[in-house]
């Protein structure tokens, strides 16, 4: 029988919180039985998204959940902020697009790393939901 499912809710406000969120994502992945490459995928995705929160919104939240069931391992991460929002999401998802002189690889890279990627944004609420799933 699976154990009680886990949800972690973390505040994202300063660079240390990126490290904490990244580590929490990796640890939950490991605990659920994901391999090392998947742990690294999720940790990298979580760093990019939480970095964006700090850089573009100042602060926000990161929720990390076990969504495993009898057939599959699953971990879902929701990263959200109440900042200015992303006016053109399609453009923000393009490789190399950055409003801060960055690499512009965070969102498109994150999308490629995970199995499910959902983004919604308006002024006052930007939310990115990512999921990694593997068959047991």
Ligand X SMILES: Nc1ncnc2c1ncn2[C@@H]1O[C@H](COP(=O)(O)OP(=O)(O)O)[C@@H](O)[C@H]1O
**C-beta nearest to Mg ion: residue:** 106
Burial 51-76 (b: 16+ CB within 10 A, else e): bbbbebbeebbbebbbebeeeebbbb
CB 29 within 8 Å of CB 132: yes
Q: How far is the CB of 60 from ligand X (least distance, A)?
A: 7
Please, which residue, 20 or 110, has the CB nearer to ligand X?
Answer: 110
What is the distance in angstroms between the CA of the first residue and the CA of the last residue of the chain?
Answer: 13
Task: Give me the torsion for CA of 96, 101, 106, 109, rounded to 10°.
Answer: 20
Does residue 60 bind Mg ion (CB under 5 A)? no
Given Mg ion, ligand X, none, residue 38, with its beta carbon under 5 to 8 Å by kind, binds: none
Please, which residue, 52 or 133, has the CB nearer to Mg ion?
Answer: 52
Query: In the set 57, 60, 106, 130, which binds Mg ion (CB under 5 A)?
Result: 106
> What DSSP designation does 54 have?
I
Q: How many whole angstroms separate alpha carbon 12 and alpha carbon 105?
A: 20
Query: In the set 20, 50, 52, 110, which binds Mg ion (CB under 5 A)?
Result: 52
Which residues contact ligand X (rule: CB under 6 A)? 48, 52-53, 56-57, 81, 83-86, 92, 97-100, 102-107, 126
The residues of the shown chain that bind Mg ion, judged by CB under 5 A, are 52, 106
């Amino acid at each position: 029988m699976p154990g009680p499912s886990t949800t972690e809710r973390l505040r994202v406000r300063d660079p240390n919180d990126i490290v904490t969120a990244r580590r929490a994502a990796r640890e939950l992945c490991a605990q659920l039985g994901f391999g090392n490459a998947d742990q690294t995928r999720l940790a990298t995705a979580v760093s990019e998204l939480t970095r964006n929160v700090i850089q573009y919104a100042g602060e926000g939240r990161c929720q990390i959940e076990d969504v495993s069931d009898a057939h599959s391992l699953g971990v879902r991460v929701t990263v959200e902020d109440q900042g200015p929002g992303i006016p053109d999401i399609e453009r923000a998802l393009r490789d190399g697009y950055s409003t801060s002189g960055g690499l512009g690889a965070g969102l498109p890279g994150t999308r490629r790393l995970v199995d499910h990627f959902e983004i919604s944004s308006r002024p006052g609420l930007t939310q990115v939901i990512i999921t990694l799933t593997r068959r047991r």
